[in-house]
């Protein structure tokens, strides 16, 4: 599938079972659920991703990590965490290169064309032999709509189903350059 046509949201949302839940006032157990369809704002997405990222770091997972930030500038606040993951995993970050990122930090940056479906999506896919998890959320509003960007509305899904995660990883893997293989 061509990069401009790839949408993890469209590919994966329907594969996650259940009703869509509003995570506006969600409990920690809801945010930590292995599988859920949801509507949320930025803070809930940040928390779900933080929990997944911490698993990569604390369990020293060897595999592939794919993250989509819409714009690469959105990764600046968490880039050190992703750089730390490169010790164990191949890390691929997708986004429009709006800041001219340094590309010698062990991370494989994939510059999205502005016409790509992925520009409206925030995602994190962890594909390791002993752990599989993914979260994808479609930005219902887009950038520049809210005075405070954290107020943006998203609709998405989170899954630990190996078939769903493997499908998402395979769609993204076709668009990554080969990085150093991990032992």
Q: Return the pLDDT at 180.
A: 41
What single-letter DSSP state applies at residue 89? Answer: S
- The DSSP bridge partners found for residue 155 are 39, 138
pLDDT by position in tens, the chain (length 183): 888 899 999 999 999 999 999 998 888 888 888 899 999 999 999 999 999 999 999 999 999 999 999 999 989 999 999 999 999 999 999 999 998 877 789 999 999 999 999 999 999 999 999 999 999 999 999 866 656 678 899 999 999 999 999 999 999 999 996 444 443
What is the SS3 assignment for 85?
A: helix
Q: What is the pLDDT of residue 149?
A: 75
**What DSSP string describes 1-68?**
--GGG--HHHHHGGGS-S-EEE-TT--HHHHT-SSEEEEEEHHHHHHHHHHHHHHHHHHT--SEEEEE
pLDDT at 182: 43
Residue 144: per-residue pLDDT: 64
Q: What is the pLDDT of residues 76-88, one digit of tens each?
A: 999 999 999 999 9
pLDDT, position 177: 65
The pLDDT score that the predictor gives to residue 146 is: 59
Query: Which domains does the chain show, CATH number per domain?
Result: 3-23+34-173 (3.30.870)
């Amino acid at each position: 599938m061509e990069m401009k046509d790839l949408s993890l949201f469209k590919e994966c949302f329907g594969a996650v079972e259940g009703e869509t839940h509003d995570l506006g006032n969600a409990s920690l157990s809801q945010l930590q659920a292995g599988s859920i369809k949801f509507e949320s704002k930025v803070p809930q997405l940040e928390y779900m991703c933080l929990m997944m990222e911490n698993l990569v770091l604390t369990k020293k997972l060897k595999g592939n990590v794919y993250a989509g930030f819409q714009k690469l500038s959105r990764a600046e606040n968490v880039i050190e965490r992703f750089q730390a993951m490169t010790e164990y995993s191949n890390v691929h970050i997708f986004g429009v290169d709006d800041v001219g990122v340094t590309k010698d930090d062990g991370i494989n940056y994939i510059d999205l064309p502005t016409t790509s479906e992925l520009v409206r999506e925030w995602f994190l896919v962890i594909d390791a032999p002993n752990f599989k998890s993914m979260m994808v959320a479609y930005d219902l509003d887009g950038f520049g709509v809210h005075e405070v960007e954290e107020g943006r509305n998203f609709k998405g899904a989170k899954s630990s189903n190996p078939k769903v995660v493997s499908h998402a990883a395979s769609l993204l893997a076709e668009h990554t350059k080969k990085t150093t293989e991990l032992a």
